[in-house]
């Protein structure tokens, strides 16, 4: 009785038995390369995007920029601020972000103040109402306190255009 039941079943060849052993849940039948599997994972995508952003940022993606930027914000209102700002502007030029541009309005050199005013004017409309009011106040104070005639005229011209 036992042998007849076994004979009724189809017998597998050794090749078929080996194929069944090789087939596991951990192996993909698609045969993708390691690179393709890596690119599909979310973590790897995020890493690749970070590296691409650093590449396209140039100097502004470096650790030196980040530390100089942090030093500029930390030293605001202290005696070391002018030195930190001079180092930052010399190494990296005019910043792109709103908050740092507002800090540059306190620069001793009129050239940097005028460039910061122009940059702020370009992005003014895109900022929130509170940020716009803060910028107006800063420009008004600058117009009243500056000794440079050109900066005062520039501030007044900007204030007229913002209202």
Dump pLDDT digits (tens) for 85-97: 888 888 888 888 8
pLDDT for the residue numbered 28: 54
* Other Cβ atoms closer than 10 A to 59: 11
pLDDT for the residue numbered 92: 86
**Rounded to whole angstroms, how far apart are CA atoms 45 and 30?**
21
Is 98:105 a contact under the CB 8 Å cutoff?
Answer: no
pTM for the predicted model, two decimal places? 0.60
pLDDT for the residue numbered 35: 67
pLDDT for the residue numbered 161: 81
Is 100:66 a contact under the CB 8 Å cutoff?
Answer: no
Ranges of residues in the chain with a pLDDT under 50 are none
pLDDT for the residue numbered 56: 72
Is 116:138 a contact under the CB 8 Å cutoff?
Answer: no
How would DSSP label each residue in 72-133? HHHTTTSTTHHHHHHHHHHHH-S--SHHHHHHHTT-SSHHHHHHHHHHHHHHGGGS-HHHHH
pLDDT for the residue numbered 26: 58
Scan for tokens 């087939």, then name that residue: 23
pLDDT for the residue numbered 109: 85
Is 158:117 a contact under the CB 8 Å cutoff?
Answer: yes
């Amino acid at each position: 009785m036992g042998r007849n039941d076994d004979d009724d079943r189809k017998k597998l060849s050794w090749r078929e038995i080996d194929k069944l052993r090789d087939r596991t849940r951990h192996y993909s039948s698609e045969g993708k390369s390691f690179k393709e599997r890596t690119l599909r994972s979310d973590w790897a995508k995020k890493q690749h995007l970070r590296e691409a952003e650093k590449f396209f940022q140039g100097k502004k993606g470096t650790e030196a920029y980040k530390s100089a930027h942090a030093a500029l914000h930390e030293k605001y209102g202290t005696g070391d601020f002018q030195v930190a700002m001079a180092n930052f502007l010399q190494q990296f030029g005019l910043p792109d972000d709103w908050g740092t541009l507002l800090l540059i309005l306190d620069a001793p050199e009129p050239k940097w103040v005028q460039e910061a005013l122009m940059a702020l004017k370009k992005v003014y409309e895109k900022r929130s109402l509170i940020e716009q009011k803060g910028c107006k106040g800063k420009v008004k104070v600058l117009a009243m306190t500056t000794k440079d005639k050109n900066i005062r005229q520039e501030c007044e011209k900007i204030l007229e255009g913002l209202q």
